[in-house]
């Protein structure tokens, strides 16, 4: 029952006893199981109960949220170490505290791995997450006294991120922000329109990248537009970093002045952020992160990032990235066959945005029904949605997590059918319970990374 203790304590006492389970159950037979350790239970049993419940939830539900994933045991062990005890303001070999010899090695290792994996000239691994990374880049690239403080990014309703200048984000408070959209009929980025708007608005920074865009992003085309209007190009690859690392999405790195990313989405690391940039921007961007916006880096997270980057450089990870897209395409086909229209008519990446109203449900009703049926997703505006963002027409799903568990195209057929069943049967408790049972049965056969025996009891 106190499964969490393995992660909480293992690293202090018995690192070698953690056995990472393969997502393929047949490979796990006979492997040693972990001894639950009890420090957290002794200190805070209430918390342990809550974490154990969350573990069971994550184990048995089909996690379809495209921005989530399952970090490996190795990543989680790294994040649960004594590295959390250390202050390291500054950068390697230029710190404001003593005792940095090992921290410097760890941060340098993470940086070197990121540079080599993505072919970047300069990397900063200190941003606390994706949003702070974006603010740091804008702050670094736009001098305080510059006449031009304008940023132009994809609007939230069209699939952009809050931090691309959306009105409730601080990025629109500190900079003059405008937003481009997508084509009203194809839902695709319309580069002629973006070019025209960029030439008219004349931004200091053109931002590309998205949080709900199911197609390949043409970073080279964005670079041309940025160059033509004299803007710097920032590419936010938070959602697709793992696809870029795995070679199934073109890289923004050669095209953009700076690339930001989270580390916990398709890249499958701990929660964190990174900035990759051209050498000419290295100093200003580093200064914007620290001391501009942040204090001490989260060294335990940096270590987890280093592990994730090592994992992402393997052949297995390339296969993983390919399978994410293969699964996404397979799932998209099933959903369409079930009568659910997809934004842009399909997918090229890990993400699918479907219009639930075709089955008579709002996005909120659909995602609620799916949740009751063990299918975890989030409601989302579709481009040119007539409904409010609080109860939009769409549901956003994706395949990174299920693919991490080892599910393939054959299982996507079930998942797609269950999604449609849950939405159609949203008012029928029997249907929702039946689907939930089937989802849990299937999930129990595909152990996620990061879970070791004994597995959680079925909730």
Ligand X SMILES: *Cc1c(COP(=O)(O)O)cnc(C)c1O
Position among 77, 236, 257, 286 found at the interface with ligand X (CB under 6 A): 236
Selected from 21, 61, 67, 169, the binder of ligand X by CB under 6 A is 67
User: Measured between alpha carbons, how far is 156 from 208 in angstroms, rounded to an integer?
Assistant: 12
Give the range of 182-190, 234-242, 278-286, 309-317 binding ligand X by CB under 6 A. Answer: 234-242
Task: State the minimum distance, in angstroms, from the CB of residue 32 to ligand X.
Answer: 35
For residue 271, indicate whether it is catalytic: yes
Q: Does 79 bind ligand X (CB under 6 A)?
A: no
Q: Which is nearer to ligand X, 303 or 422 (CB)?
A: 303
CB closer to ligand X out of 79 and 357: 79
The size of the interface with ligand X (CB under 6 A), counted in residues, is: 14
Known catalytic membership, residue 89: yes
- Output 236 or 421, the one with its CB closest to ligand X: 236
CA-closest candidate to residue 396, choices 156, 70, 65 = 65
Query: Given candidates 61, 79, 100, 163, which one binds ligand X under the rule CB under 6 A?
Result: 163
Q: Of 55, 77, 107, 236, which one is the catalytic site residue?
A: 236
- CA 101 vs CA 46, 110, 144: distances in Å: 38, 15, 34
Beta-carbon neighbour count of residue 130 at 10 Å?
27
- Tell whether residue 238 is a contact of ligand X (CB under 6 A): yes
Counting DSSP H helices and E strands in the chain, the numbers are: 17, 14
* Number of neighbours of residue 102 by Cβ within 10 angstroms: 11
Active site residue 265: yes
Judge whether 171 counts as a catalytic residue.
no
**CA–CA distance, 125 with 366 (Å, rounded to integer):** 38
In 86-225, the DSSP E strands lie at: 90-91, 94-95, 122-124, 150-154, 176-180, 205-208
| Interaction between residue 349 and ligand X (CB under 6 A) | no
x/- letters, 95..134, toward ligand X (CB under 6 A): ----------------------------------xxx--x
Radius of gyration of the chain (CA): 22
Q: State the catalytic residue, choosing from 17, 57, 81, 89.
A: 89
Nearest-angstrom CA–CA distance, 90 and 87: 10
Q: Does 289 bind ligand X (CB under 6 A)?
A: no
Closer to ligand X by Cβ: residue 357 or 381: 381
Distance separating alpha carbons of residues 405 and 391, to the nearest angstrom: 31
Any catalytic annotation for residue 87?
yes
User: Do 349 and 266 touch, CB atoms closer than 8 A?
Assistant: no
> Shortest distance, CB of residue 187 to ligand X, whole angstroms?
17
Residues acting as catalytic residues: 87, 89, 236, 262, 265, 271
């Amino acid at each position: 029952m106190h499964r969490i203790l393995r992660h909480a304590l293992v690293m202090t006492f018995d690192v070698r006893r953690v056995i990472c389970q393969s997502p393929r159950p047949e490979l796990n037979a006979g492997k040693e199981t972990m001894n639950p350790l009890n420090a957290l239970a002794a200190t805070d049993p209430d918390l342990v109960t809550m974490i154990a419940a969350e573990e069971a939830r994550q184990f048995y539900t089909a996690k379809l949220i495209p921005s989530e994933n399952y970090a490996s045991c190795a990543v989680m062990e790294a994040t649960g170490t004594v590295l959390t005890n250390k202050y390291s303001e500054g950068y390697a070999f230029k710190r404001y505290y003593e005792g940095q010899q090992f921290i410097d090695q760890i941060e340098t290792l993470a940086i070197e791995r990121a540079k080599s994996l993505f072919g970047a000239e300069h990397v900063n691994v200190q941003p606390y997450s994706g949003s702070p990374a974006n603010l740091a880049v804008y702050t670094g690239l736009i001098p305080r006294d510059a006449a031009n403080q304008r940023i132009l990014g994809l609007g939230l309703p069209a699939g952009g991120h809050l931090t691309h200048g959306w009105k409730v984000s601080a990025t629109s408070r500190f900079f003059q922000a405008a937003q481009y959209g997508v084509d009203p009929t194809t839902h695709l980025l319309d580069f002629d329109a973006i070019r025209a708007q960029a030439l008219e608005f004349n931004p200091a920074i053109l931002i590309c990248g998205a949080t709900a865009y199911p197609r390949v992003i043409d970073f080279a085309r964005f670079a041309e537009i940025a160059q033509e209007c004299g803007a710097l190009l920032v590419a936010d690859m938070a959602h697709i970093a793992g696809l870029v690392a795995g070679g199934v999405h073109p890289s923004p790195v050669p095209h953009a002045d700076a690339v930001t990313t989270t580390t916990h989405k398709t890249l499958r690391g701990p929660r964190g952020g990174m900035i990759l940039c051209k050498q000419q921007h290295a100093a200003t961007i580093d200064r914007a992160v620290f001391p501009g916006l942040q204090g001490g880096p989260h060294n335990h997270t940096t270590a987890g990032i280093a592990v994730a980057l090592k994992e992402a450089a393997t052949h297995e990870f390339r296969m993983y990235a390919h399978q994410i897209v293969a699964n996404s395409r397979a799932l998209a086909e099933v959903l369409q066959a079930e009568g659910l229209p997809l934004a842009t008519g399909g997918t090229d990446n890990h993400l699918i945005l479907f219009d639930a109203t075709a089955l008579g449900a709002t996005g909120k009703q659909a995602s609620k029904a799916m949740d009751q049926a063990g299918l975890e997703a989030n409601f989302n505006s579709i481009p040119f949605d007539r409904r409010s963002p609080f109860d939009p027409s769409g549901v956003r799903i994706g395949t990174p997590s299920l693919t991490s568990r080892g599910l393939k195209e054959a299982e996507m057929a079930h998942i797609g059918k269950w999604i449609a069943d849950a939405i159609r049967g949203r008012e029928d408790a029997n249907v929702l319970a039946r689907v939930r049972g089937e989802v849990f049965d299937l999930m129990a056969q595909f152990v996620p990374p990061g879970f070791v025996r004994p597995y959680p009891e079925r909730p």
